[in-house]
Amino acid sequence: MKLKAIVAAVMGAVIATSAVAKDNSEFKLGFSVPQLANPWFVGVKLGMEKACNELGIKCISIDAQYRVDKQVSDIENMINDKFDAIFTTAIDANALIQTFEDAKKAGIATGSIAQVVPNSHLLYGMDEYNYGHAIGTQAAQWAKKKLNCKGKVALITEDNVEAVKRRGDGIEAAIKEVCPTMQIVARQAGDNPESGMKIIEAVLQQHPDLNLVIGSNDSGGIGGYQAMFSNDKVGDDKAVFSGDATKEALALIAEEGSIYRGTVDLYPFKGGYESAKYLYEMATKGLPAEPKKVFLPYVPVPQEDVISGKYKPAY
């Protein structure tokens, strides 16, 4: 009887421990965001929050303000605070490898999206060059049709982020393939609308006849559009293209007479939503021996599809 009592007590403790472990209200998922000034990351955040609400878990987003040291520190704090799962878009993937290794040793599920950390449990990645090529191709096809491949183009890229340089290369390659006679007058890094605006305002000082602005993301593209609009650079021979299909860019594309003529959907909401679900499953059912690899899809979104309603945004 004594042995049975001991077994019963142990089993009761196990059940109680399992119940605590399965209490979703205590589960914490952290997202280290490079910068919330970029609308794409807001989309990822919104997707994550929807998944967290469905699961009944806590989700916390922290803005790294595009500082590598802060991103590392933020994730270290999540580890010390015993988060159950952590994911990020890396500003500098190499700087996070050891930090993610520490998280994994602590039994924390790790993930990264877009610009991935190679030792993450979840690698929700993308092909930067091909994505850039899709952005550039849509813009170049417009230039071929409307400008007969004549005129000037400025590129707002993310060359300040090592992993994203190839996106700019893809844009530039597409321009040269489809419209080799177009003159590329600038290629500069712009991470947000403010920097994108400053870049194009400066370009317009030297090239007031600028026809085309291409942003490697909507964040820079929005700034480029604002600069063109405020300097009265509008009309049939002007255009702005970018990538990410954020709600901010889509709203500008839909405006009457807008020269914002297209974007490319990289599905940030879907990426954030699915990342949260994958990481929750890993943290609760067991960490994988090998990383799970998923790729962000992308599809061109021309202005006519936005105006007609053919394109349906995810959020």
Judge if 226 and 117 occupy the same domain: no
User: Domain for residue 310, yes or no?
Assistant: no
Judge if 176 and 54 occupy the same domain: no
Q: What is the CATH number of the domain that holds 230?
A: 3.40.50.2300
Q: Decide: 191 and 220 in contact? Cβ < 8 Å.
A: yes
What pLDDT digit, counting tens, does each position of 43-64 carry?
999 999 999 999 999 999 999 9
Tell me the residue length of the chain.
Answer: 315
Judge if 241 and 113 occupy the same domain: no
Show the tokens assigned to 100.
């993610």
User: Domain for residue 305, yes or no?
Assistant: no
Please state, in angstroms and rounded to a whole number, the distance separating the CA atoms of residues 122 and 292.
5
What pLDDT digit, counting tens, does each position of 80-120 carry?
999 999 999 999 999 999 999 999 999 999 999 999 999 99
Please state, in angstroms and rounded to a whole number, the distance separating the CA atoms of residues 103 and 144.
50
97: number of Cβ within 10 Å: 15
- Residue 99: helix, strand or coil by DSSP? helix
Please state, in angstroms and rounded to a whole number, the distance separating the CA atoms of residues 198 and 218.
15
Judge if 45 and 167 occupy the same domain: no
What pLDDT digit, counting tens, does each position of 265-305 carry?
999 999 999 999 999 999 999 999 999 999 999 999 999 99
User: Domain for residue 314, yes or no?
Assistant: no
Judge if 258 and 179 occupy the same domain: yes
Q: Per-residue pLDDT for 14 more than 50?
A: no
Q: Could you say which of 265, 285, 305 is where a domain stops?
A: 265
Output the pLDDT for position 7: 39
Q: Decide: 61 and 33 in contact? Cβ < 8 Å.
A: yes
Please state, in angstroms and rounded to a whole number, the distance separating the CA atoms of residues 249 and 157.
16
Output the pLDDT for position 25: 87
Can you give the residue range of the structural domain that contains 251?
128-265
